[in-house]
Structure 1
C-alpha cells in the first residue's frame, strides 16, 4: 500500500491497522471535553523557578507517578522504524494507554515521515507522541508551524524545540537530529521496558501540568 494511503487510514473509523486499542473509537470530530490532569506531581517534579525554554530539567524519580489524564484523552502515537528500541517505546505507550483509558491511535510511517506527522495533526488529538529517531528532523519542521498542537518525544529530543514540544531522555537516549550532537552516547540496552514506561508517564504529566518546551532527563 502507498505510504499516503497508509497514513490516510488513520482517519477512518474502525481501521484495524491504525487503531491501537479497543476496536472502534468514537469519531474525534465529536464534542470532546478539554483534557485535564488527575492527580498532582509529587515534590521534586515541577522545577522552581520555572525553566527557560528548551531547558533540561531533572525531576525526582517517580514524582510523576500519581498523575494521569482524564478518561478519553486522545493520543496519536506516530512511530517509524522497527528496531528494538522503538518497539520498546511503542509497547510502553500502548501499556500506558490501556491502563489509563486513553483513546490511542497508532500510526506507523515507513517513508513519507512529514506526511505521517501531518496526518496525525489533522486527526485532532490532544497529544501526539513520537517514537523513533527518524521522526526527529521532520518533527522539527512541522511542530514549529503547529503551535496549537502538543507533541511528546520519547527517547529523543529536538535540537531547538518550540513551546509545544516536550521530550523525555536519559543516558543512552538523546538523539537530536542529523545536524546536532547527542547529549549522551547511544545505548540500545538503556531502552528498557521500565524506563520507557517511566518516560511516557513523566512526559504526559509534564504536558498536563504545562511543563512544556523542555527536556525531562529521567536518569
Structure 2
C-alpha cells in the first residue's frame, strides 16, 4: 500500500529542517560575489604577513567590529543538537544576521546522520555556511574537502585538518576537534557566553570576508 503523501513529506523533511529569514530571495537568481564593507581595526592581522594555512590568528579584541558583509549576504546556519553551548551559538548567529540584515537560512541536521544536512546546506549555494554544534565536526571533515568553492565557518570548534575553505573560531573554553581528539582539557561550557559567542561569529565572518580562510581565529 502506498504511503500517504503527508507521511512521505514528513519523512523527507526529517533529513534536514530548513527555515529562513531575510530578503525573501529564493537564491535562484544571479548573485554578486560578497565583499567586506569596512576594514579591520588595529591588531586584527599583520597587513604584511598572511597567516599560514591551518595557522592561528589571535586578533585584538574588537578589531573586527568595523567589518560588515555587503548587501544580501547569503548565509546558512547549519546546526545539530540542543546542548546549551550549541543554543548559545545559534542565538549568536541569528543575532548577527538580524543586525547585519543578512539573508539567513537554517538547516537543522539529523543528529544520527548529519551528512545529508551538510550536503543540503552546500546545495543551497550560500556565500557562507556557519556550523554550530560539536557533532558536526567529523561529518564536516568528510564533506568540506569535496566542496572547495564553498566557504565554511566553524564556531566554537575546529576541524583537525581543515582545507582552505574552512575557517574556525575558537577559544580556550572551546576547542573541540573531533577525529577522536575529543574535548580540550580546558573545555568549559560556561565560556559560551552571549558576548563570547557574538564576538566569535563577528570575528569569523570578518576573516572570511577578507579571504583570511583555512585558519583558526583564536579569541583571548
State the Cα deviation string for residues 56-100 of structure 1 (Å, max 9, x = none): 110111100000101100000000000100000000000000010
Q: 2 CA distance for matches of 1:181 and 1:91? A: 24
**Offset at 1:180?**
2.2
Q: 1 CA distance for matches of 2:66 and 2:185? A: 29
**Offset at 1:107?**
1.0
Query: TM-score when scaled to structure 1?
Result: 0.91
- 2:68 aligned with 1:54: no
Q: Is contact 1:174-1:184 (8 Å) kept? A: no
State the Cα deviation string for residues 144-183 of structure 1 (Å, max 9, x = none): 1100000000000000000000000011100000322545
Tell me the equivalent position of 1:170: 171
Tell me the equivalent position of 1:43: 42
Q: 2 CA distance for matches of 1:68 and 1:45? A: 15
- CA RMSD, Structure 1 to Structure 2 (Å): 1.5
Tell me the equivalent position of 1:125: 126
**Offset at 1:51?**
1.5
State the Cα deviation string for residues 4-28 of structure 1 (Å, max 9, x = none): 4244663xxxxxxx11x24x72111
State the Cα deviation string for residues 127-157 of structure 1 (Å, max 9, x = none): 0000000000010110011000000000000
- 2:161 aligned with 1:152: no
Q: 2 CA distance for matches of 1:93 and 1:9? A: 17
Structure 1 alignment gaps of length 5 or more? 11-17
The structure number with the bigger radius of gyration is 2
1:73/1:51 CA distance change after superposition, 3 Å: same
Tell me the equivalent position of 2:189: 188
Tell me the equivalent position of 1:63: 63
Tell me the equivalent position of 2:13: 5
Structure 2 alignment gaps of length 5 or more? 1-9
The secondary structure found in structure 1 opposite 2:177 is coil
Q: Is contact 2:17-2:108 (8 Å) kept? A: no
The secondary structure found in structure 1 opposite 2:107 is strand
**Mapping of residues 97-116 of structure 1, within 5 Å:** 97-110=97-110, 111-116=112-117
Q: Is contact 2:17-2:106 (8 Å) kept? A: no
Q: Is contact 1:7-1:107 (8 Å) kept? A: no
Q: Is contact 2:160-2:179 (8 Å) kept? A: no
The secondary structure found in structure 1 opposite 2:95 is helix
The secondary structure found in structure 2 opposite 1:144 is helix
